[in-house]
Amino acid sequence: MCELLGMSANVPTDMCFSFTGLTRRGGGTGPHKDGWGVAFYEGVGVKTFHESLASADSRIAEIVKSHPMKTEVGICHIRQANVGDVCLANTHPFIRELWGRYWTFAHNGQLQGFQPAAGVYEPVGSTDSESIFCDLLNRLRGSQPRDLSESALVDFLVSNSHTYAQQGVFNLLLSNGDWLFTFCTTKMACITRRAPFGPARLRDEEMVVDFGTETTPNDVVSVIVTDPLTADEVWDVYAPGEWRFWRAGEVVQQGQVDVPTHPSPSASQ
């Protein structure tokens, strides 16, 4: 299956450590060789890198690893294709503008035969993931006011994620740069690092970082992934149907809905 990586922090933080661990799984220690992408928010702007090649062998990924790009919200995806060609248009995360903000979406799973609602947002590629993203934004734009409250937004995201999850495997990362929404149907885990910080070792690469030398006592950094990236830390595993709404490294809302039982997805668009 494809793998997801999200980060929420209360200060601009680089993703080099986590990004290194994830991208090794893209054709190196894992089978996710059909493309990769990452998005870093800088205020209301977003910096992105995408390739339809294996991230483990990518010179562009090497540049991202070695040049710390600090952000408070980041989303990354490595792809193992099932439906849809292996091409740049089908690499996550997908990005669209809504209400003066860039919204970023990455999905792990499959909704076979998904038919999006008509609207101003249309998919460029041929994945169900991008179609779901366009469908979600069309429904949001068509049914909610621009100034909807945060609680109303969360209710909308949870309700629609629940609907999508009835149709197939739907593991989600979604952000507009201010917050990060996560939804799990099969597999997701997270960790929040705060003082006192210590060292951590990647599972997929000979790399150890002592976060105590890289942070201040006030820093809070949360990482959300498909499968834990480190071997010596305790990760919090999501339950099926669990969702969390993150801001500045903290969970500000969370809950759980009933979802069908699915096997872990073998691939994602």
Judge whether 169 lies within some domain. Answer: yes
Judge whether 264 lies within some domain. Answer: no
Give the catalytic positions in this structure: 2
Q: What is the DSSP secondary-structure string of 236-269?
A: EEPPTTEEEEEETTEEEEEEE------PPPS---
Contact 19, 77 (CB under 8 A): no
> Quick check: pTM over 0.85?
yes
Which of 207, 205, 185, 190 is CA-nearest to residue 265? 185
Cis peptide bond prior to 12, omega within 30° of 0: no
Which residues have C-beta within 8 Å of that of residue 121, sequence separation ≥ 6? 96, 133, 134, 135, 137, 138, 141
CA distance 216 to 18: 19
Q: What letter would DSSP give residue 108?
A: E
Which residues have C-beta within 8 Å of that of residue 16, sequence separation ≥ 6? 64, 65, 66, 68
Which of 188, 179, 128, 138 is CA-nearest to residue 160? 138
CA distance 241 to 89: 29
CA 225 to chain centroid: 7
Question: What pLDDT sits at residue 113?
Answer: 85
Judge whether 33 lies within some domain. Answer: yes
CA distance 82 to 212: 41
Question: What pLDDT sits at residue 263?
Answer: 62
Judge whether 269 lies within some domain. Answer: no
Q: Which domain holds residue 215?
A: 3-256
Judge whether 9 lies within some domain. Answer: yes
Judge whether 240 lies within some domain. Answer: yes
Q: Are strands 45-51 and 36-42 parallel, antiparallel or unpaired?
A: antiparallel
CA distance 112 to 60: 32
Write out pLDDT tens, residues 251-261: 999 999 999 98
On average, the pLDDT of the chain sits at: 94
User: How big is the CA angle at 104 (ends 19 and 74), to the nearest 5 degrees?
Assistant: 30
CATH number of the domain enclosing 177: 3.60.20.10
CA distance 57 to 24: 9
Instruction: Report, as ranges of residue numbers, the positions in the chain whose pLDDT lies below 70.
Output: 1, 83, 263-269
Q: Based on the structure, what is the number of domains in the chain?
A: 1
Contact 69, 103 (CB under 8 A): no
Question: What pLDDT sits at residue 82?
Answer: 77
Judge whether 268 lies within some domain. Answer: no
Question: What pLDDT sits at residue 264?
Answer: 52
Question: What pLDDT sits at residue 269?
Answer: 39
Question: What pLDDT sits at residue 266?
Answer: 43
Question: What pLDDT sits at residue 152?
Answer: 98
Two tokens at 19?
A: 């990004």
In the chain, DSSP finds a helix count (H) and a strand count (E) of: 4, 15
Judge whether 25 lies within some domain. Answer: yes
